Amino acid sequence: MFLRSIQLRDWKAYATAQFDFPVPTKNKNVVLIGAKNGYGKTSLLEAIILGLYGRDGMHALARAVTSNSDDDRSYDEFMERALHAQALQQVRTSIAITIVLEDAIERLKIVRRWHFTASGKHRRLDEEVNLFSGKDEEPVKVPGLRPSREERDDYYRSEIARKFIPFHLTEFFLFDGERVQQLAKQQQAGMVKEGVEGVLGVQLLRVLQGDLVAYAQDRRRGVENIEDETLSRVNSQITEIEARLEPCKNKITELEDQMTPINRRIEELTRAVRTMTGGNSANVKELMEDQFRFRRQREKVEERLNEMLRTDLALALAGKSLRDSVVKTLGSEIKRSEWLASKNHTREKLDRILAGLEAKDPVIRPELTEHQLLVLRQRLTDVWETLWHPPPADCAIEERHVYLSEAERRRVIERLDKVERLGVAELEQLLADHDEATVQFNRLGHQIAGLSGIEERIREDMNELQRLNQQAGQVREQMGELNRQEQNDNSELSKLRAEAGRMAARHESAQPSLARAAKAEKIAALIAEAIEDLYPRYVTRLAEEMTAVYKQLAHKTLVKKIEIATDCTVKLLGDKGSNIRRMDSSAGEEQIFALSLIAAIAKVSGTKVPIVMDTPLARLDPDHRSNVLRYFAAHAGEQVIFLSQPD
Amino acid sequence: MNGIPLFEQGDARDSLKKKCREAKIPIKLLEDLVEAEIEQIGKLRKRGLRDRFDHLLDPNAGVEGQGD
């Protein structure tokens, strides 16, 4: 696209201004704007740059560099100075720049406004930019439902970069004389390199390369990277366990096969022994032991019965009335004995009383006669006798069982009481126990008699049974161990299979991200390789083009060839191949050198955009000026705008 | 390739095609990635670039092995 027009309002010295540029043609592609110093040539260039790119264009403005290191502050200061001097007095608090770009197909109108406070302070956040497309100037629609201001500005910036040139290339197409001087200095090789790389798109490619590498790293970080080796390791563990399980299962089957005949034989033997023993598998010895036990039981019952016959039975047979009579008699004899004992005890006290009658002190006056004393003794004795007569009612009159002591009488009473409690029930139980023991004893006797002939056979079978049971136990123990091992392995196998499944799923889900990362890295490597391969070719072409341009612009013919190293160090080589670029070369020569470089860069880049140069001819003599104008005029159809002094 | 003169001049494009063929990267993919990066120029933050990369580098999108 080329620059069709620019309209300024309150921009620096321009209260209002409109510049319309003709459509560049084959014969008329150079626009020359002449003005003396201070008449706004540079202001126009700045208006074009800032009108197109706003704050982004600041880096292309040599004059914008201030002592202030704060970019925002620097921009504010620049814009506050840019506001037309009369604007605030006339109550206009904004700057407006309208640029129209065109080509055969498209038309793009850019309207940018900067706003200020009443005191002239730049309201940076209120900066406006609007794009209109086509002859009907339809507003350019920003994608998205409700794009933010930042999104809108980003989109417009992108549109301008896409349809015109990215702002970072402006310094090679829109520049002033000071910029040319900077490029002319040999020590600015870094800047030249940056410019060459920028104009060729190498810088953009490097950014893309870096973004792809960062993207790949990010994608790899974002997924659980399960290497194929990890999955293979788990799968090989599964295979290992499966291989171990197989013989284990085989061994279990083998042992089960071994157990079948053993179990069958055990069943046979058990059945045979049971049959031989009538359902009781005990041997004769055990049967005899049982029989002995029942015999002992019967003997104990008989002993008890004999004892009962010997002791209690006679008393029981004597009858209850006789036993009661004896108990009663013995009881009354015990009473009598107790009565007599008490009486004898008081008789001793009577004897002491009677003896007291013989005492001398106190003296009885008159003294008792022998007779009186005898009578007194008799009377006292008679009185005492009356105390013990008659004897108690339940007391025996006489003792029939004089041979028994009181204690023996009591034992006899207890014995007779016991006979009284001897019941029929106990006797019947004893007789029943005797019968049962006798029956069991006889039964076992018959059984033992029956077994006597096959006892040897049973013993043999029992021995075999014992041996087989022992063998079966050992096999079962082995099988138990193998079953435990199989269970553990199966459990481990289940876990590993589940883990392998999860890993495979994660592995599968991670594949797209990993594939993207791998692709991004591959493309980044491709870009690096392409730059390394192609960039030196362009530098060579750039040197060839610069040589051609330089020869057209310079009127000296000392320079035979220009060489540009990949670090963009430029050498002017003379006839003998020596670098003839002099440090003390004239300002005009330096400017020719710089213009050659810029023209060569523009040509090699193949970018078809306008070139706007502010006072590039100031230091040139008339011959050089003619050469420069002739050179650019020869680029048919490419718009070139020179802002120059009138002379 | 728009915006990348390095890939446009002389035999550069043929050379690039060859490299893409060898790397089994469609040159259209490279062009799209460059386009995505150009759209980010001047933006304060590279909003949406990762999504564009995701879309362009989708392993199921397109067929690799095309050099041009």
Q: How far apart are CA A340 and CA A182, in angstroms?
A: 164
Average pLDDT for residues A318-328, to the nearest whole number?
90
Q: Does B63 touch chain A (CB under 8 A)?
A: no
Mutation for testing the A interface, residue in B47, B54, B57 having most A CBs under 10 Å: B57
Structure confidence at residue B65 (pLDDT): 41
Q: A107 has which bridge partners?
A: A102
Please check whether residue A448 is in contact with residue A288, taking contact to mean a CB–CB distance below 8 angstroms: yes
Q: A128 has which bridge partners?
A: A113
Q: Does A204 touch chain B (CB under 8 A)?
A: yes
| Chain segment A429-441, per-residue pLDDT in tens | 999 999 999 999 9
A526 to B6: CB separation less than 8 angstroms, yes or no:
no
Q: Residue A636 pLDDT > 80, yes or no? A: no
Q: How far apart are CA A385 and CA A377, in angstroms?
A: 12
Q: For chain A, give the mean pLDDT.
A: 84
Q: Residue A281 pLDDT > 60, yes or no? A: no
Average pLDDT for residues A416-422, to the nearest whole number?
80
Structure confidence at residue A334 (pLDDT): 92
Residue A198: band (very low, low, confident or very high) from pLDDT cuts 50, 70, 90: confident
Q: Does A606 touch chain B (CB under 8 A)?
A: yes
Structure confidence at residue A478 (pLDDT): 93
Structure-token match 């037309």, residue found: A84
Reduced to 3 DSSP states, what percent helix, strand and coil does chain A have, rounded to the nearest 5? 65, 10, 25
B43 to A158: CB separation less than 8 angstroms, yes or no:
yes
Report chain B residues whose CB lies below 8 A from the CB of A520: 53, 57
Structure confidence at residue A331 (pLDDT): 93
**DSSP per residue over A423-439, as a string?**
-HHHHHHHHHHHHHHHH
Mutation for testing the B interface, residue in A158, A167, A534, A607 having most B CBs under 10 Å: A534
**ipTM of model:** 0.89
Average pLDDT for residues A303-325, to the nearest whole number?
85
Structure confidence at residue A224 (pLDDT): 62
Q: Residue A71 pLDDT > 80, yes or no? A: no
Residue of A nearest to B17 (CA): A530
Average pLDDT for residues A448-463, to the nearest whole number?
76
Structure confidence at residue A284 (pLDDT): 65
Residue A229: band (very low, low, confident or very high) from pLDDT cuts 50, 70, 90: confident
> Over the range A146-184, which residues count as b (16 or more CB within 10 Å of their CB) and which as e?
eeeeebbbbbbbbbbbeebbbbbbbbbbbbbbebbbbbb
Q: Residue A187 pLDDT > 80, yes or no? A: no
Beta strand A611-614 with A640-644: parallel, antiparallel or unpaired?
Answer: parallel
Locate A249 and state its tokens: 């299962």
- Percent pLDDT > 90 in chain A is 33
Beta strand A2-11 with A94-102: parallel, antiparallel or unpaired?
Answer: antiparallel
For residues A262 and B7, the model is more confident at A262
Residue B66: band (very low, low, confident or very high) from pLDDT cuts 50, 70, 90: very low
pTM over 0.80: no
Mutation for testing the A interface, residue in B6, B45, B64 having most A CBs under 10 Å: B6
For residues A6 and A564, the model is more confident at A6
Average pLDDT for residues A463-486, to the nearest whole number?
90
| Chain segment A593-605, per-residue pLDDT in tens | 888 888 887 777 7
**DSSP per residue over A37-88, as a string?**
TTSSHHHHHHHHHHHHHGGGGGGG-GGG--S---HHHHHHHHHHHHB-TTTT
* CA-to-CA separations, A337 to A329, A333, A396, A407, A599, in angstroms, rounded: 12, 6, 9, 11, 167
In the chain, the amino acid numbered A262 is: I
Alpha-helix residue ranges (DSSP H) falling in A554-614: 587-605
* CA-to-CA separations, B33 to A124, A221, A263, A567, in angstroms, rounded: 33, 22, 79, 27
> Over the range A303-342, which residues count as b (16 or more CB within 10 Å of their CB) and which as e?
eebeeeeeebbebbeeeeeebeebbeebbbbbbbbebeee
Residue A562 per-residue DSSP state: E
For residues B67 and A533, the model is more confident at A533
| Chain segment A534-556, per-residue pLDDT in tens | 888 888 888 888 899 888 888 76
**DSSP per residue over A460-528, as a string?**
HHHHHHHHHHHHHHHHHHHHHHHHHHHHHHHHHHHHHHHHHHHHHHHHHHHHHHHHHHHHHHHHHHHHH
- Percent pLDDT > 70 in chain A is 91
Average pLDDT for residues A600-626, to the nearest whole number?
79
Selection from A177-186, A500-509, A564-573, B48-57 with the highest mean pLDDT = B48-57
- Report which of A449, A431, A514, A89 is spatially closest to residue A288, judged by C-alpha positions: A449
C-alpha triplet A267, A271, A272: angle, nearest 5°: 120
Structure confidence at residue A402 (pLDDT): 85
Average pLDDT for residues B22-47, to the nearest whole number?
78
Structure confidence at residue A180 (pLDDT): 67
Q: The dihedral of CA A433, A437, A443, A447: what is its sign?
A: positive
Burial class (CB in 10 A: 0-12, 13-18, 19+), B22: exposed
Structure confidence at residue A392 (pLDDT): 87
Q: Does B49 touch chain A (CB under 8 A)?
A: yes
Cis peptide before A390 (omega within 30 of 0): yes
The H or E element containing residue A573 is strand A570-573
Residue A280: band (very low, low, confident or very high) from pLDDT cuts 50, 70, 90: low
Q: How far apart are CA A186 and CA A571, in angstroms?
A: 9
| Chain segment A76-119, per-residue pLDDT in tens | 999 999 999 999 999 999 999 999 999 888 999 999 999 999 99
Q: A114 has which bridge partners?
A: A95
- Report which of A168, A131, A210, A130 is spatially closest to residue A607, judged by C-alpha positions: A168
Q: How far apart are CA A582 and CA A600, in angstroms?
A: 21
- Report which of A645, A646, A446, A601 is spatially closest to residue A42, judged by C-alpha positions: A645
Q: Does A588 touch chain B (CB under 8 A)?
A: no
Q: How far apart are CA A421 and CA A176, in angstroms?
A: 148
Report chain B residues whose CB lies below 8 A from the CB of A538: 5-6, 9, 12
CB-based contacts of A529: which residues, under 8 Å, 6+ apart?
Answer: B19
Please check whether residue A205 is in contact with residue A531, taking contact to mean a CB–CB distance below 8 angstroms: yes
Please check whether residue A197 is in contact with residue A203, taking contact to mean a CB–CB distance below 8 angstroms: yes
Q: How far apart are CA A64 and CA A75, in angstroms?
A: 8
C-alpha triplet A554, A555, A559: angle, nearest 5°: 65
Q: How far apart are CA A425 and CA A415, in angstroms?
A: 19
CB-based contacts of A260: which residues, under 8 Å, 6+ apart?
Answer: none
Report chain A residues whose CB lies below 8 A from the CB of B48: none
